[in-house]
Amino acid sequence: MKRCPKCNRTYTTDTQKFCTHDGGILVVVESPQADTIRIDSSQLDAPTRAISRELASEVGKFDPYKTTIGQAPPTQTSEPRARITQDLTPVAPPPPETTAPFASPDSGTLRSLPPTQPTQPPPQSAPPPIATSAPLPPPPAPQVPAPAQVQQAQPLTAAPKKKSKVFLILGILAVLLVLGVGVLGAAYIFVVRPRLAQRVAVGPTESPTPRTTTEPTPRVSTTPTNTETPSATPQNEPPPYSPPADAAQFVNSNKNLDGKLADHYVDFNFYYPERWEKDPKAGVPGATLFAKVERRLPPDFTQENFAVGWYSSSGSATDDKALFPNLAGNLSAQYAKNFPEYRKVSEGETKAGVYDGYEFRFESMSRNSAKGDLKIWGRVIFLAPTDGGKNGVTLVLITTSLAPELRSIDDVGVKGELPMILESFRFGKK
């Protein structure tokens, strides 16, 4: 039996030389025996004696302090390999500090080990390498990789370059500018224009000043019997219209009007062919039109018709021109609900007889009628008041393909029998 003088661990294997725990040299411990039994070699057989002599010769040659040089099997741990020495003289065990080849991680003297290549683990039957009691050499200095290797092992990300804030500020200003323009446009569309349209529909809050005309200086007659001054025709009045023999005149009157028509009454007159029919529902209480006349095919098919409505003016023809597009858009949206396959063709300034106006033109279809599929063409004309009043008129011209003279929207009011009505229309009683 052998014992370690450092840790007092015992080992039963006689061939073991060093302690597997701390590397100390094992010493033989003689176990006391009560009695010694002597055996005479003469009593043994010959083979037994021969074997005993061979074993004795081999035991005599055994040196417990002699070791062989060998290479420790590689390990996967990061601990350094223990060196195996040969023919070492037994010395006193070194202090514990010398057995540790590397400093403690807490001391801060060494934080990492050089990388090692992984190797196959040693077989379990072989004991781990045992350090001798001789002082071990100092551990090798840790290998510090070159700067290029350090950068390759641990790449450093460069700090992002600070971008200039000028472009960010300019972008924000551009976005704010676009938003401001959009807000202003939306305010004009949804706030200003509806108020202007309401002003046109309701009329000005204050009574406009009527336009005055200067009377010419009366001509003095040398004849004493003729003392009357002849009245001159105002310069802003159009020349009178000379109607054909088969024409009938319509003169507007507020005698039977009520509601909006009475509030927005306008004096006007026009001529129309006698064979045209007047709509009895126009110009009566509850009506929405001052007048409506129509050219028909029996029994009730429209070829051409002409109607007069109203709109609330701002009192100035110049101001009304700025509001006409809004009026045209509103009325066109209403027509789109009542006419099938409605399509607005054009919009802009126009001429209606002797007056300047603003119009929009449209097309529509009437399918599967008793006369087949009919094309519908229409013009809506706005005329501002000429006397500075608060009420203007709306002329509505609607025709169909049943009128043989008409082939397109461009013929409405130009061909057929509607041109006479447009040319004869006048503001006033006569």
Q: What is the pLDDT along the chain (430 residues), one digit of tens a residue?
A: 788 888 888 888 878 888 888 888 888 876 555 445 555 555 555 454 544 455 545 444 555 555 555 555 555 545 555 555 554 555 555 555 444 343 444 444 434 444 444 445 544 444 444 444 444 455 555 454 444 444 444 455 555 566 678 888 988 999 999 998 988 888 888 877 766 665 544 333 333 333 333 333 333 333 333 433 433 344 567 899 999 999 999 999 999 899 999 999 999 999 999 999 999 999 999 999 999 999 999 888 999 999 999 999 988 888 999 999 999 999 999 999 999 999 999 999 999 999 999 999 999 999 999 999 999 999 999 999 988 888 999 999 999 999 999 999 999 999 999 999 999 999 998 7
Owner of token pair 């098919």: 301
Element (H, E) at 59: helix 46-61
Specify whether the CB–CB gap between 269 and 428 falls below 8 A: yes
| Six-digit token string for 209 | 């000043």
**Domain locations along the chain:** 1-31+41-101, 247-427
Q: Where are the alpha helices (DSSP H) in 235-349?
A: 259-263, 317-338
* Amino acid in position 389: G
How far apart are alpha carbons 65 and 86 in whole angstroms? 9
425: Cα separation from own chain's centroid:
56
Specify whether the CB–CB gap between 270 and 250 falls below 8 A: yes
* Residue 374, C-beta contacts closer than 8 angstroms, at least 6 positions apart: 365, 366, 367, 400, 401, 402
Long-range contacts of 413-421 (CB under 8 A, 24+ apart): 413/352, 413/379, 416/295, 416/303, 416/304, 417/273, 417/276, 417/295, 417/304, 418/304, 418/306, 420/243, 420/244, 420/247, 420/271, 420/272, 420/273, 421/270, 421/271, 421/272, 421/293, 421/306
CATH topology assigned to domain 247-427: Protein Transport Mog1p; Chain A (3.40.1000)
Q: Which residues share a beta bridge with 27? A: 3
| Six-digit token string for 331 | 């009325």
| Six-digit token string for 116 | 């090692």
Q: Rounded to the nearest 5°, which phi and psi values hold at 195?
A: -70, -40
Query: Could you tell me the pTM of the whole model?
Result: 0.48
